[in-house]
Amino acid sequence: MAEHCTPSRDRRPLRIRAGAPGAAPSPWLPRLAAALQGVDGVELVASGSAAAADIVLDTGEAGAPVVRGSERRWAIVDAKHRLLAGDAAWWCSLSQAQGVDMTLIEEAAGGWCALRRSHATGPLAQGDGLQEAHAALVAMLVQALVDVRLGVAPDAGCLLPAPRPPVRRGAWLSRLQSRWARGLRRQRSRWLTEHWRVGVVDQPIHALLQAETMPPIQWLTPPDDAGYWADPFGMPGHPGLLFCERYDERTSLGHLECLRLHGSRIEVAGRLPVGRGHASFPNVFEADGQVYGLAETAADRECVLHRVGPQGQWVPVATVLHGVAAADPAIFRWQGRWWLAFTDLDRGTWDNLCLYHAERIEGPWRPHLNNPVKVDVAGARMAGGCFEHEGRLYRPGQDCRAGYGHALALYRVDEVGPAHYRETLVRRLAPHARGEAPEGLHTLTAWGERTLVDGKKLRFNLLALRLKLGRRSTQGRQAGPAVQKGI
């Protein structure tokens, strides 16, 4: 579980009681109890206990819980503001196309206020969707409890009505629908291959904040069937130079390439010697007259800051993260402080946003007191660098509810500090269903008066299929002796 810091001035533990006395415990409560063991100063009180609690969580299992004195009352609701309780409620939510939409709410004077919101993967998810949903719920609860310990006040600006009763029927049908959808996804992934393309939008990135749909995209010609380009970032001040990941189907690894655009013609200017293994997401940005670059090298478990020369060469400056598998890292400066945003792959691949901060770009870098600051498959993972518009800060995220990199989510960052983080969704941008990349959009970066994107389609690629089957055959032969030995 995450390592959380709490203020030293308050030594009294924060106690939370979940459920009503005599009610059957929710299936995710053991997971919550295990998670709270790694959180300083927070305790889970048994539902039937007479011990006082600071917070009472309404699990909806057997009527409203008993709330005594100054205890705060929390509840978890779905997209239709119904209590999430019981198998029927969870499987009904999981069967939705966009998965489980859950909000943690707190009773306040005159109504309820939202504390945190999260999503879990939908019916196309790999594995057990219910377990993934419970994990997302527990992560959301832990973050909210740490918020309380840190003294982060809830946003009471928008009051909500009381939660509605939970769904009680239809679990078997929803479970069958989810199982069928997962089987369909497995068959598609067996025969079809993801293929990404880099594209250019002839509008500045801030124009997309008001866009109802994705503007027209000029797609660049992909390299060949042996791979593709993705994760595009443009060189600041240079309208014809950009960086991207070049993925190789033969090795299942990516490396960074520098590209030059001459109209519609693409020239590969060179390969960048960044990282010892897979490298991607070449986040390029300008600060104080200097261009910097930071790439994803999660396989190396480090992030190295580079200076970028006028011809696109990268020179290492400092290691900003060590021992962390950081995916899609991006550095930005806001209100006099440097921030590093990324997804920690040890916590999850699509659903968490972690922050570090520093006074100088070279470091030292310190973790946010409540990492991950966001646990949400609908937009936690970075989709590009943060950008400013009219004095506000915006963050592009990946909406992975319908699959990895399916759509883009643009957030306005309302508050960011060493102990708090709050953002508001401004816009979601989905791929055009009949476009050249109908299966996904997962990068959005500023390039002067233009914007760079990448898009995904699933296609039958004989070379990729042959390589995929070869790898499966090799893995099967390697696993054979272990299976025979009962390992």
Model pLDDT, residue 153: 83
**Between vectors from CA 97 to CA 75 and to CA 442, what angle results, nearest 5°?**
100
Q: What is the pLDDT of residues 248-304, one digit of tens each?
A: 988 889 999 999 998 778 899 999 999 999 999 999 999 999 999 999 999 999 999
Model pLDDT, residue 340: 99
Model pLDDT, residue 31: 92
Cα distance from N-terminal residue to C-terminal residue, the chain = 28
Q: Which of 60-74, 379-393, 430-444 has the lowest mean pLDDT?
A: 60-74
Q: What is the pLDDT of residues 446-487, one digit of tens each?
A: 999 999 999 999 876 666 666 666 665 565 545 443 333 232
Give percent of the chain with pLDDT exceeding 90: 59
Contact 443, 201 (CB under 8 A): no
Out of 53-57, 149-153, 309-313, 384-388, the most confident range is 384-388
Both tokens of 365, joined, read: 């870098």
CA distance 207 to 227: 31
Model pLDDT, residue 126: 44
Strand partners, 343: 327
Asked whether residue 140 falls in the same domain as residue 233, the answer is: no
Asked whether residue 233 falls in the same domain as residue 343, the answer is: yes
Model pLDDT, residue 484: 31
Residue 430, judged by CB atoms within 10 A of its CB (0-12, 13-18, 19+), counts as: middle
Asked whether residue 132 falls in the same domain as residue 228, the answer is: no
Contacts of 448 (CB under 8 A, 6+ apart): 204, 234, 236, 237, 239
Asked whether residue 272 falls in the same domain as residue 287, the answer is: yes
Model pLDDT, residue 483: 30
Is 479 contained in some domain? no
Model pLDDT, residue 1: 36
pTM: 0.87
Which of 141, 157, 186 delimits the end of a domain? Answer: 186
Is 486 contained in some domain? no
Read off the pLDDT band of 66 (50, 70, 90).
low
Bridge-based pairing of strands 366-367 and 352-358 is antiparallel
Asked whether residue 82 falls in the same domain as residue 211, the answer is: no
CATH of the domain at 153: 3.40.50
Asked whether residue 286 falls in the same domain as residue 416, the answer is: yes
The letter for the amino acid at 28 is W
Asked whether residue 328 falls in the same domain as residue 446, the answer is: yes
Is 264 contained in some domain? yes
Q: What is the pLDDT of residues 170-213, one digit of tens each?
A: 555 555 555 656 666 666 666 678 889 999 999 999 999 999 99
Asked whether residue 182 falls in the same domain as residue 214, the answer is: no
CA distance 132 to 125: 9
Q: Which of 123-127, 325-329, 353-357 has the lowest mean pLDDT?
A: 123-127
Asked whether residue 181 falls in the same domain as residue 196, the answer is: no
Model pLDDT, residue 480: 45
Q: What is the pLDDT of residues 93-121, one digit of tens each?
A: 766 656 788 999 999 888 899 999 998 87
Going from the C-alpha of 358 to that of each of 339, 381, 418, the distances in angstroms are 7, 21, 10
Q: Which domain holds residue 112?
A: 14-186
Can you tell me the mean pLDDT for 14-21?
A: 82
Model pLDDT, residue 419: 95
Say whether pLDDT at 167 is over 80.
no
Asked whether residue 50 falls in the same domain as residue 116, the answer is: yes
Asked whether residue 113 falls in the same domain as residue 82, the answer is: yes
Asked whether residue 99 falls in the same domain as residue 31, the answer is: yes
Contact 103, 77 (CB under 8 A): yes
Q: Which of 74-83, 320-329, 362-371 has the lowest mean pLDDT?
A: 74-83
Which of 157, 186, 215 delimits the end of a domain? Answer: 186
CA distance 362 to 359: 9
CATH of the domain at 292: 2.115.10.20
CA distance 407 to 378: 9
Number of structural domains the chain divides into = 2
Residue 62, judged by CB atoms within 10 A of its CB (0-12, 13-18, 19+), counts as: middle
Is 381 contained in some domain? yes
Higher pLDDT residue, 225 or 355? Answer: 355
Q: What is the mean pLDDT of the chain?
A: 85
